[in-house]
A and B are shown apart, each in its own frame.
Chain A
């Protein structure tokens, strides 16, 4: 029972928890265990660093803006629906 309580996640489990770990969704006990595993396991450290960077790489550049002319066309279209 004590061993089970102290057991850290395996690397495979850590990979499964990666999403929730980065999103802050894990309960505090499991979050501590994942953090402890990440202090002692170089392959998991490498994985989590890469995973974090991928998450941060999501493109934030805005697409080309919607032209004002087109917005006016949308308004004309919507006005037609009123009649």
Chain B
């Protein structure tokens, strides 16, 4: 499939991602400067908290994760080489901490993908997609529908939920999602695609059957 994709020559992610101002900021963090810590809190605490909350869905746990992430920044910032941007690195640390917490909390069970993935016979649909034209957008924006959709997201196993959240909800680029989660692009795409298929099926069963 990759032969059909544009931009086949990979971007050079080995080149330093940090601009000069980012280099100065990182240097300030390494040196434990007050101004750098203030900037870290001001610039990043909301976004990282948002990611942790979306993964964990609990305010207190997300706050704990944020504190653990900042602890890691203090301890490990000197290992940051500038191969990615600082924000991608921070996303990665946050995602790792949150995912470890989910695993220890015994997250969503494995799904039976056999029942979720589309079925084909000789390359043609074996069952058709319900007509989503019967489901007005306003219906999906109602509180109950949004809560239901959120509950579906939480049913996704974390290896599918995390890439879905970073790609579709946080709207990171594909490269940023791969960097943050340590995934190859084909694996990341497959997991986001399957997450979307799972959510689609869940909504169809609720509203279109």
Contacts and interface: CB of A to CB of B under 8 A. Distances in A.
A78 B41 contact: yes
Contacts of A53: 132, 137, 140
B124 A11 contact: yes
Contact residues of B: prevailing secondary structure: helix
A61 B149 CA distance: 13
B70 A74 contact: yes
B146 interface: yes
Contacts of B49: 63, 66
Contacts of B71: 77, 81
Nearest to A29: B4
Contacts of B133: 49
Contacts of B7: 25
Nearest to B192: A19
Contacts of B74: 78, 81
Count chain B CB atoms within 10 A of each CB in A18, A49, A66, A70 and give the residue with the most: A66
Interface residues of B, number: 54
B70 A66 contact: no
Contacts of B45: 66, 71, 74
Contact of B4 (A27, A46, A50, A65): A27
A25 B5 contact: yes
Contacts of B189: 19-20
A55 interface: yes
Contact of A71 (B6, B41, B54, B140): B41
B123 interface: yes
A74 B67 contact: yes
Given A17-B4, A71-B41, A81-B71, 6 more contacts: A11-B123, A12-B118, A19-B196, A46-B132, A66-B66, A77-B67
